[in-house]
Structure 1
Amino acid sequence: MTSTNPDLQSVVTDIANEMAQRSDRGEVASYIPELAGVDANQFGLVVIDADGNIAAGGDSEAPFSIQSISKVFTLTLALGMIGDRLWRRVGREPSGNPFNSIVQLERERGVPRNPFINAGAIAVTDVIVSGHQPRESLGEILRFMRFLAQDSSIVIDHAVAASEKRTGYRNTALANYMKSFGVLENPVDFTLGVYFHHCAIAMSCRQLAMAGRYLAHSGTNPSTGFSIVPAERARRINALMLTCGHYDGSGEFAYRVGLPGKSGVGGGILAIAPGKASIAVWAPGLDANGNSHLGRIALEALTRRLGWSIFGV
């Protein structure tokens, strides 16, 4: 059990208390039936600094569906498998469109704009599926998440995965469209099955902040000294999180929070303060762009009070 930095804990506790008092909580993701019933009054925040100190507030141990935050980790795996060849199948530019838009994909001949919109994450998942059965690929993703978080209890919420599959018509259309251009190599059902399931991984803020530590410390887990990715790759993943991690709300997040981050429609956000900390926040209510409303507000308060914006105080 790690000790806690009292100053950091004080800031986290204050922010959690402030968020508990707010009435503007956003709207839960009703288009995924299993997420529609989540209580929007919940809020959790965990910050893990370079020394392993854990500051936690609110519902920090409650598991939630990480949804698109999983795309950070599948991108890491895919880059480990095929390196920069990945960029022949997916771009690195902000989309400026909703996360499930098909318009841009049509204009750009089936090549997704970046790995964090749905089409891009499906293409990344297809890389991981290649040469394996879907169950094996999904097992590899789950083992990677457990390894990063140092927690074997992390599981997939199969009810959420089934709910996404039943209602995932737009994602199915995106996948079929990419398949028609040869961007996907595997059967669409195989790739989509793995995609829906890795988005349905359930984690707490503490587990998620633990899993993201390698991105805050040049690709290395500072507690173990184990290198997950080269420093340059960690930097580039962070760059993509900053520019593309919140869909068409990425510019607003960079403007207000000033950290690389990746959101999910389950209400979670993983944020990275390079060299300082890995941060996970969860508030299920979303804003108009599909990002956690109170999560962004809490992170803006955190970076302001601690001076952690990458753009300076």
Structure 2
Amino acid sequence: MDYQALIEDVLSDVHAYRGTGKVASYIPVLAQADPHKFGMAIALEDGSTFVAGDGEEAFTIQSLSYVFSLALALHHVKSALWNHVGREPAGSPVNSIIQLEIEKGKPRNPLTSSGALVVCDQLIGRRGREEACAELLEFLRTRSGASDIGIDESIAMSESRAGAFNRSLAHFVAAFGNLSNPPEEVLSLYYRQCSVAMSCRQLAQAGLFLAFDGVDPVKGEVVCTPSRARRINALMLTSGHYDNSGDFAFRVGLPGKSAVSGAILAIVPRVGVVSVWSPGLNDAGTSLVGAVALERLVERTGWSIFV
């Protein structure tokens, strides 16, 4: 298959949608994003990558970071993580404090903001936020093969200043005894992981281990166990797109994770990884153009876990 021609065709297919959707406005720096931007990349088993549009431009990965932090936290604490966070779709408006109260400070799953805060807490453990942040950066650099991946500190500061809601979540979870570290320590790591800047190409390469049962097919390295990779993919399918997860599974049929920066990471088991980015969001907070592009891609390739 001519993958470069394929993604160029998808780029052409979604041209009319570019500029639609609304950029995230609650983070001041993200509110300045250009909704006409669109990038796409595919990374395959042999290490080959194909990029279209703005696929080489870096953007902050926001909640896509939850996927990689989850993999690291499971490496450190293994199944004990599930004592602190659940594995079910939210079933109510995303990050509902009412739901947190009913469930005594245990978030429904690790792909919500409250769940990601619990994962950050477990990732910090007893060693401190700086070491945990350095480990995440090194993980992303190694998996993507890009040594220059870093944190956009202006975004991190912007998120922190606008972070009243996430602070309330952290303190609410802590009030139920579900954080081991001070909320501000956890929030610092959280804001910084969300502010890691990567391109579509780098994200697709970084996620390859999830498409191949936890093994990086390019380096031949075991990143996590096969069962762990499958479980992360299962969470991405059921909970990776806020209140839009069911519709995404219906239309695209692949495990994926959306972010408010307009990025989507989609896993194609035993084939590769697709990353798209376009800042205009639909009502559920998923990239409008990105979701359409992935739908067009699976129509052309037949990629789906429901085969």
TM-score, normalization: structure 2?
A: 0.98
Distance 1:82 1:305 in 2: 40
CA distance in 2 between counterparts of 1:214 and 1:311 reads 20
1:183 paired residue among 171, 178, 181? 178
Report the 3-state secondary structure (helix = DSSP H, G, I; strand = E; otherwise coil) of the residue aligned with 1:269.
Answer: strand
Is 1:266 the counterpart of 2:255? The answer is no
Alignment of 1:31-110 (within 5 A): 31-110=26-105
1:115 aligns with 2:110: yes
Per-residue CA distance 1:193-251 (angstroms, 9 max, x = gap):
00010001010000000000000111011111101001111011000000000011100
Shift of 1:54: 1.3
Amino acid at match of 1:236: R
The code of the aligned residue for 1:228 comes to V
Comparing 133-142 with 206-215, which one deviates more in the overlay?
Answer: 133-142
Tell me the distance in 2 between the aligned counterparts of 1:20 and 1:154: 29
Cα distance in 2 for partners of 1:24, 1:56 equals 20
Where does residue 283 of structure 1 map in the other structure?
278
What residue is the counterpart of 1:208 in the other structure? Answer: 203
TM alignment of 1:160-199, pairs within 5 A:
160-199=155-194
Are 2:221 and 1:226 equivalent residues in the alignment? yes
**Secondary structure of residue in 2 paired with 1:33:** coil
In structure 1, give the amino acid aligned to 2:159: E
How many angstroms does 1:49 deviate by? 1.6
Native 8 Å contact 1:20 1:41 kept in 2: no
- The alignment-based identity, stated in percent, is 48
1:23 is displaced (CA, Å) by 4.9
Query: Quick check: 253-262 or 94-103, which moved more?
Result: 94-103
1:99 CA displacement: 3.0
Partners of 1:156 and 1:114 in 2: CA distance: 25
Aligned counterparts of 1:88 and 1:196: Cα–Cα separation in 2: 24
Distance 2:51 2:173 in 1: 42
Q: Gaps spanning 5+ residues in structure 2: where?
A: none
Matched residue type, 2:254: L
Deviation of residue 24 (structure 1)? Answer: 5.8
Confirm whether residue 307 of structure 1 aligns to residue 302 of structure 2: yes
Which letter maps to 2:275? A
**1:179-205 superposed Cα distances (whole Å, 9 cap, x missing partner):** 011110101110000001000101000
Structure 1 partner of 2:287: 292
Q: Which runs of 4+ in 1 moved over 6 A?
A: none
> Please, which of 235, 240, 248 is the counterpart of residue 245 of structure 1?
240
Counterparts of 2:243 and 2:197, CA distance in 1: 25
For the 8 Å contact 1:19–1:43, the answer to whether it is kept is no
Q: 1:131 aligns with which of 126, 135, 143?
A: 126
> Which of 159, 162, 169 is matched with 2:154 structurally?
159
Contact 2:18–2:37 (Cα < 8 Å) also in 1:
no
Pairs aligned (count)? 307
Q: Contact (CA 8 Å) 2:214, 2:224: kept in 1 or not?
A: yes
The two structures, once aligned, show a CA RMSD in angstroms of 1.0
State how far apart, in whole Å, the 2-side matches of 1:140 and 1:102 are: 30
Between the aligned partners of 1:236 and 1:22, the Cα distance in structure 2 is: 33
Amino acid at match of 1:121: A
Counterpart of 1:84 in structure 2: which amino acid?
S
